[in-house]
Amino acid sequence: MNHRALPRGYRYAGTMDFMRNRAQMKAVVILSLALVIVPALLGLLFAPVGPSWRLMLDHWWSWLALGAALIAYIPLHELTHGIAMFALSGVLPRYGLKLPYAYCGSTVWFDKRSHIVTALAPVAVWGVLLQVAIAMLPGEWFWPLWIVQISNLSGSAGDLYTAWALARMKGDLLIQDTGVRMRIMRKVSVEENQT
């Protein structure tokens, strides 16, 4: 259940802040780099670069299309978070940019399942749509689309880290994600409440 205000009976359980917490920031950067290198190597196993390179050299506009797709992906990623947040809460999210991150945030307290859904929505939705485009378009479009897919994966490193960390946390959790910082609260048990 998601809440507009923090209900009674919850106690502070932690914070995720990829801008101030050096260990969390480092983990996200390492994951992001791995999500560039591994898919790039896998792409080389499935498709030679030559046909895509020839397409790019023969059609100057393909460079513009790739650049536009990489730039457009950033707001589309955040918009996907926002649509999920709104669908699960009925509250309009806020968007912003705090370098090096674009963000979508809300004042709503999301339960663990809902927050994991909002965190993973962009990588899942855009991952599927990009794979469909890769399957439908001629082979020479593989690498331009695969580069956008790699951007989708690596740009979701913070979301994947968040989902993984929350999935490992025990208890009835509520998470408020303001976009650059997440506060995590855990429901206090009856025994803890009596002390």
- The reported pTM is 0.89
Averaged pLDDT, 124-141: 95
Residue 26 lies in a domain: yes
Please give the pLDDT value at position 191: 59
Q: For the segment 151-165, what is each residue's pLDDT rounded down to a tens digit?
A: 999 999 999 999 999
Read off the pLDDT band of 190 (50, 70, 90): low
In a domain, 4, yes or no: no
Overall domain count for the chain = 1
Q: Which of 179, 12, 188, 194 is nearest to 81 (CA)?
A: 179
Closest CA to 181 of 85, 104, 122, 81: 104
Q: For 44-97, what is each residue's pLDDT tens digit?
A: 998 888 888 888 889 889 899 999 999 999 999 999 999 999 999 999 999 998
Structural domain boundaries enclosing 182: 18-194
Question: Cα separations (Å) of 98 from 9, 116, 167?
Answer: 33, 22, 26
Angle, helices 61-89 vs 142-155, to 10°: value is: 40
pLDDT category of residue 172 using cuts at 50, 70 and 90: very high
3, part of any domain:
no
For residue 82, how far is the Cα from the chain centroid? 11
DSSP lists the bridge partners of residue 184 as 14, 175
Q: pLDDT tens digit string along 9-36?
A: 999 999 999 888 999 999 999 999 999 9
For 36-59, the pLDDT digits (tens) are: 999 999 999 988 888 888 888 898
Closest to 193 measured CA to CA, from 5, 11, 12, 2: 11
pLDDT band at 194 (very low <50, low <70, confident <90, very high): low
The contacts of residue 64 (CB under 8 Å, 6+ apart) are none
Token pair for 88: 């699960």
Residue 47 located in a structural domain: yes
Asked if residue 165 belongs to a domain, the reply is yes
**Tokens, residue 91:** 């509250």
The answer to whether residue 160 is domain-embedded is yes
Q: What is the pLDDT of residue 102?
A: 85
The answer to whether 82 touches 179, Cβ cutoff 8 Å, is: no
- For residue 192, pLDDT over 80 is answered with no
Instruction: Give residue 66's pLDDT.
Output: 93
Tally Cβ neighbours within 10 Å of residue 177: 25
Is pLDDT above 80 for 195? Answer: no
Q: Is 171 in a helix, a strand, or coil?
A: coil
Here the tokens at position 81 are 């978070």
Please check whether residue 156 lies inside any domain of the structure: yes
- Per the structure block, which two tokens stand in for 153? 């994966």
Q: Which residue has the tokens 């705090």?
A: 98
Q: Using an 8 Å Cβ cutoff, are 193 and 9 in contact? A: yes
Tell me how crowded residue 81 is: count the other CB atoms within 10 A of its CB.
24
Whether the predicted pLDDT of 193 surpasses 60? no
